Amino acid sequence: MISVLKDRGFPKRKGPLVLVIMDGVGFGKYKEGDAVAAARTETLDELLTSCPQTKLKAHGTAVGLPSDEDMGNSEVGHNAIGAGRVFSQGAKLVGLSIKTGSLFEGAVWKKLCAQVKPQSGGQGKTLHFIGLMSDGNVHSNIEHLKAMVVQAKAEGVARVRIHGLLDGRDVGETSALEYFEPFEAFLKNLSQGTAGFDARIASGGGRMVITMDRYNANWEMVHKGWETHVLGRGRQFASSSEAITQLRAETKAIDQDLPPFVIAENGEPVGPILDGDSVILFNFRGDRALEITEAFSAGDEFNRFNRERTPRIEYAGMMEYDGDLHIPRQYLVTPPNIDRTLGEYLAAAGRRQFAISETQKFGHVTYFFNGNRLGKFNEALETYEEIKSDVVPFEERPWMKCAEITDRVIEVIRRGDYDFIRLNYPNGDMVGHTGIYQAVICSLEALDLCLGRLKKAVREAGGVMIITADHGNSDDMFEHDKTGAVKYKKDGRPQAKTSHSLNPVPCIIYDPGYAGEYEETLKEGLGISSLTATCLEFLGLVPPEDYDSSVIRWKENVRRD
């Protein structure tokens, strides 16, 4: 049972608290490639120089990832901001479950293997793995896949097929062969000298083209994935490395945008998914796993696209991707149980909340912010609003829907119906992932214009605005070597970096009604989970004792309990 928090004696401002999450906007380590610093951002620059501000950690252990070499991402970032504490996240939990062997001792793993083992009646049946083939540690880790293939062989599974999605987003933009070629060799070595064991890559394609859509933005991506992985339909190649090399030469596309391909012998696909098979989606992150899971798991009522053939299989996800709806029904590793989130506390305290973003990040300010929970805590007190994203390449509309989001937030601020408003501007992240520097500059300048409009509305309403981010991205757009020098392509252009950065993110307090209640110098060395307690304090509430510290240094004359 959630207890209503006590008033803390802080003279709450007349207007709302507005939390602005500038997705993918951090403080760059290098001058070259820092699009945030290079963009003309008059409002952001003015806020940084005139308001209390600090830098927050948004990667690695500060957001529950295995090490500080792991980049943050939007999922764990919004989990941390919403929860106020750090929970061990997917990559860490899966890695530990493999290290201890608990994954392989679980009933679901045993069930899926038994389904296809010859001695269990599964002669000729296949264990399939679908997922992102990289070590980005954002959606998946190829080392997890390797461990599962090795264990499957050890347990007597005779036939394994991999349906590998190309990354180029959480890792280098054209790094796919660095993962696929060694993995092909790994499977070949594993198969050689072992009579009856056959493990191969069966299909693939770019993650932004097939399979990994999210938030119901583009179901055609999932349809293409179904045709490729399940039906074995598509352009055929002898190997994944051949497919990647040839498609890259023909399209000039980076990995995430490469077309789908099917591996075939004598014109026949080597690994379509058939009745009696088992399928594991080895991605551990939920947002881009839910739709393909629905395609496999939904019954006859499925109407997103024509599946043509729906194999009777055993299906499992690496983790439970939705804890409310319990999707999927079977999973290998139990996800973190994120409880007592900011949204839940505010609902218990009777505070009215409004959450908004466009489609690309709508689930982040709702589902992930609420601890991987789809529903609302109190229908009467909460409003969630999605602005539909354009279904076009982000570099063609780098301003995205930031103006429309701003229009709506300003309307809500002026109406005065909500105590707490949270919004996500996706520009710095989604356009940052394209690697197109000019488009990123444009996206950030559009965002800055919107910040200026919000600032005026907050001031007029007598509210407070906290400007922050969930992780870095657009602050680090070029690849650098170990010395810090920019890497260049053969044509003399900088090598684009499409992944997130390890850089800190801003925490800016815009408080027009400031009357000296707290020090203008904010605490340093904290992570983005400290934003939660900060928000509660500005709403006049006392954060729970186990929440990470607020960034605010309150003066002695302000009662704190």
Among residues 125, 94, 212, 93, the alpha carbon closest in space to that of 163 is found at 212
Compute the distance between CA of residue 210 and CA of residue 202 in angstroms, rounded to an integer.
15
Compute the distance between CA of residue 282 and CA of residue 284 in angstroms, rounded to an integer.
6
**3-state class (DSSP) for residue 448:** helix
**200, 187 contact by CB (below 8 A):** yes
Element (H, E) at 94: helix 90-100
Residue 398: φ, ψ to 5°: -65, -20
Q: The tokens of 371 are what? A: 């601890």
Sign of CA dihedral 157, 292, 423, 336: negative
CA dihedral 111, 113, 116, 119 (to 10 degrees): -90
Selecting among 3, 67, 74, 443, the annotated active-site residue is: 74
Compute the distance between CA of residue 473 and CA of residue 25 in angstroms, rounded to an integer.
6
Q: Per DSSP, what are the bridge partners of residue 238?
A: none
Q: Identify the DSSP state of 172.
A: -
Q: The tokens of 147 are what? A: 């461990």
**287, 207 contact by CB (below 8 A):** no
**Per DSSP, which regions of 372-457 are E strands?**
382-387, 420-425
**Residue 529 annotated to the active site:** no
Q: Identify the DSSP state of 11.
A: -
Q: Per DSSP, what are the bridge partners of residue 462?
A: none
Q: How many helices (H) and strands (E) does the chain have?
A: 17, 16
Compute the distance between CA of residue 549 and CA of residue 198 in angstroms, rounded to an integer.
53
CA dihedral 281, 283, 286, 287 (to 10 degrees): -100
Give the type of residue at 527: G
Compute the distance between CA of residue 337 and CA of residue 147 in angstroms, rounded to an integer.
25
Count of CB atoms within 10 A of residue 385's CB? 17
Task: Supply angle C-alpha 128, 132, 133, rounded to 5.
Answer: 90
362 contact partners, CB below 8 Å, separation of at least 6: 215, 356, 384, 386, 387, 424
Which residues are identified as catalytic?
A: 74
